[in-house]
A and B are shown apart, each in its own frame.
Chain A
Amino acid sequence: MRWIRGRHAWLPHAIAGGALAVVVAGAVAWFAVGRAQQRAANLDQLDRACAGLLPGEQLRGFVPGDGPGVLEEYGTMLDPGQESRALLNCTLAWGTGRWEPEHRVRIRAEAHIAAQAEEAGTEDRVISGFPLPLPPGATGSTGTEDRVEGSEVSASLQVECPGGLRGRSRPSRTFHVSVELPSKAEYDHDVPATEHLVAARTAVAIANWVTERQECGRKPIRTDASPRPAEGPTPTELCAWIDPEELEFAREEWEFSGDGTYNRRAGFCAGHSTGFGAPEDLPVSGMTAESWSGEFARGAYERHTNVKTAPGQRAPSPAAPDGSVVIKTSAFSPKLALWAESVCDGGPSYHRVAVSVSIGSGNEEEEEVVVEGRVRKRLSADVRATLDRYLAAADGWPQRAHCHGTKVLGEVEEWPR
């Protein structure tokens, strides 16, 4: 043992150090392999879950390697022998938290019996944004919500199934799809438009899965039309015709969204002012221009007809002798829309241009605002100027789609009386 105390006194330390290094490296490798295996298992679960209907590619970034995913799936279309109100219901959660899992995906398709469809029909509905054009017999919307970790983006889609649906004890010819996906956006209003689109596409994929297997007797909804890119300070080429200064809209910074590429089935452009407050003369602070051809035109007209916002459905607001009108307003900005029809490359088409103004306190409570006669008249001129500019723009959708025979159908006041 003397040699240890001699020239090679460092040797035992080196051996011990080496052994320790091997143990540590082994532990790290073991841990890393374990994580990789767990993540691979979780990814496999994600791909297989819910009849493969989850948007796996977009969700991969949420899949952890430090714990298994928790999956709950049921529904009469997954297991026809069981009784449930869901045609399909899947929840996949990852990670733990005090109040909720770190991330969670949920999809559900439910056949609505007559009473539910009736109840949905009597609700005060508004046409809210669904970032894909929808054919007749389908309505949808997307939304966002804050979560403890990041946000959540959701899509909701109601689809008619003329052939009838199996799964409920009572007859059903409508079903509802809901999709909730995690988002890394810190706040709900930061969720980008591309994530709304993913939620919408997922809802459409589920709806098509249901309609095919239930033999609804309707064509699948196409998801290839009109993907809308994220908002930005400059409009896309198709929407470059929007010039708030030229149109004498609110003199603030504007943000735009709209189609990045042309699609003959539908077109969409929008812009809104980024300023706050409600100037006295009520300049236009938001606008949208949409066009639909063929079955999407019929679908859009049907959806607006259902909520009484198609042209010719309502008489104009009663005006005082001085031309002023009373607008009941809440948190939603009142809109004035103008419709036109023409024949374009995709068939008979509708165009709808709408302008909105910022009025009211922005609170949830409804309040009455008197809009002077001259302002009301100017709004009509604003919406007409916007439609004319849209139809005439060389790079805009109507010209690209070679629309002709255009006829203006009339204004629609989209505000409560």
Chain B
Amino acid sequence: MKRWASRGGAGAGALVVLAGGVFWFGGGYDRWATDRTLATACDGVLPADEVRAALGERRLEAFSDRSEGSLDDTTTSLRVTCGISRETGENNGEHVGEGTVTVTVNGVPTLDREDRRYESLYPEVRTSLAPVPLGQGWHGMFDAKDSGTEATATTAVLLDCAPGRGDLLITVAVHVDKYLGDMPLDNPERRTAFARTATGTAANASRRWNCDADLGKALKAVPLPVNKDEYVAPADAEGTCSGIAARGRTVTRVWESERGTAPYEKCVLGNTEGNATHVVTAHYGPYAEGARHDHFERPGDPGPTATGQRSGALTDGSYWTTADCPGSAGPAFFSFTAYGDEDTRTNADRTYGLSALKTFAERSAKSHDCAAPAATVPGRKQP
């Protein structure tokens, strides 16, 4: 009897070892660990299927997982960040090399701005040309960068939470290595998969923090952001650059996106050599708050909120103006920046800059149902 018992025990032990081996080597453990990572990182708001679609069926690990505040907190704003990276495996032509998804969820507006003196409030919109509005019911934008061996897609979504709860800004950057010559962002399916990581996170975040915002539709497609060689003559502009006049050899081409309801819009003006000479930008909601923080609060200036100033010039010679928007805590912020040496600028340059800013700001404000922007007077420079 004893012999049978010990035999049975050994057999059961062998079965357990065998099952463990199958679980480990069959990829079961990796799947379980990945499921666990995706369920817990970023306070559990990551959309697991969307992240897997963007990074592939690989073992995924979390990094830089931090969380503070909530939408109900009256002193510390909600700020959640996390990254998911994929294990680099053999290259089979799909999901090549390294890949990461970096997520930031911010409560808007930022309450603890004094503590954020040395940093920007929200993830910067790192775009060389113009990001495209997401549309399909989402207030957000998509931007893509493609170099020889890597591609990055950044999607930002702004959720208008239930009254009294502020807003939520969700920013997701998907970064993937690629095979030389491949263009993952040109593939509509992959581009949409990258953007869905943000809309999926936004939907989960809205539930998680009781934001209760109206969500957009499930993304079916994402437009292509403009490329360096896809400029148009100023007179042919129909999007964010429409109405801005050409000027001699310094403004002969523009790079623009469609105009929508994105909280960040941009129009880049360029010369005959194809170099950018000026950029005009519209900031709404958190981006307007972030721009005021960067331009006035961080340098220690009283800022337009304290002084009541509605427009002016910045220390780098850029012009700015504002417009009041319904339902927003602060006004929209528009800026015009000329590249090159400020000291060599003429009065005609300044007049052109103010005119371009006026046209851009008026049209952008109108499409966002905001009031007419304040007129900018040249020479009123912030110290």
Contacts and interface: CB of A to CB of B under 8 A. Distances in A.
B352 interface: no
B221 A97 contact: no
A94 B227 CA distance: 32
A70 B91 CA distance: 11
B224 A84 contact: yes
Contact of B183 (A85, A92, A100, A101): A85
Interface residues of A, number: 32
A386 interface: no
A104 B96 CA distance: 13
Contacts of A82: 188-189, 221
B94 interface: yes
A96 B187 CA distance: 22
Interface of B: 90-94, 179, 181-183, 186-189, 221, 223-224, 227, 229-232
A96 B91 CA distance: 5
Given A89-B187, A113-B229, A116-B229, A100 B91 contact: yes
Given A72-B93, A82-B221, A91-B93, 5 more contacts: A67-B92, A82-B188, A83-B224, A85-B224, A95-B92
A315 interface: no
A169 interface: yes
Contacts of B183: 85-86, 89
A182 B183 CA distance: 20
A98 B229 CA distance: 35
Given A84-B224, A115-B231, A101 B93 contact: yes
15 contacts: A70-B92, A70-B93, A72-B93, A81-B221, A82-B221, A83-B221, A84-B188, A85-B224, A86-B183, A89-B183, A91-B93, A98-B90, A113-B229, A115-B230, A180-B181
Contacts of A106: 181
A9 B218 CA distance: 72
A101 B187 contact: no
Interface in A70-87: 70, 72, 74, 79, 81-86
Contact of A72 (B187, B221, B227, B229): B187
Contacts of B188: 74, 79, 82-84
B155 to A, nearest CB: 16
A70 B232 CA distance: 38
Contact of A74 (B93, B189, B227, B232): B189
B221 A96 contact: no
A89 B186 CA distance: 9
Given A70-B92, A83-B224, A101-B93, A170 B230 contact: yes
A93 B221 contact: no
Contacts of A85: 183, 186, 224, 227
A167 to B, nearest CB: 12
A248 interface: no
Contacts of B92: 67, 70, 93, 95-96, 101
A86 B186 contact: yes
Interface string A396-408: 0000000000000
B94 A93 contact: yes
Nearest to B94: A70
Interface string A120-160: 00000000000000000000000000000000000000000
A3 interface: no
Contacts of B231: 115
Contact of B186 (A81, A84, A100, A113): A84
A83 B223 contact: yes
The residue among A82, A96, A113 with the most chain B CB atoms within 10 A of its own CB is: A82
Given A91-B182, A100-B179, A170 B232 contact: yes
Contact of A113 (B179, B221, B223, B230): B230
B136 to A, nearest CB: 13
Nearest to A115: B229
A168 to B, nearest CB: 8
A401 to B, nearest CB: 41
A119 interface: yes
A98 B189 CA distance: 26
A276 interface: no
A99 interface: yes
A84 B223 contact: no
Nearest to A68: B92
Contacts of B232: 170
A92 B182 CA distance: 12
Contacts of A81: 221
Nearest to A91: B93
A89 B189 CA distance: 13
Nearest to A100: B91
Contacts of A116: 229
A59 to B, nearest CB: 14
Contacts of A79: 188
Given A100-B91, A101-B93, A84 B179 contact: no
B180 to A, nearest CB: 9
A256 to B, nearest CB: 34
A99 B292 CA distance: 46
Given A82-B221, A115-B230, A169-B230, A74 B91 contact: no
A109 to B, nearest CB: 13
The residue among B90, B91, B224, B230 with the most chain A CB atoms within 10 A of its own CB is: B91
B186 to A, nearest CB: 5
A70 B92 CA distance: 7
Contacts of A115: 229-231
Contacts of A99: 91
A113 B229 CA distance: 8
The residue among B92, B186, B187 with the most chain A CB atoms within 10 A of its own CB is: B92
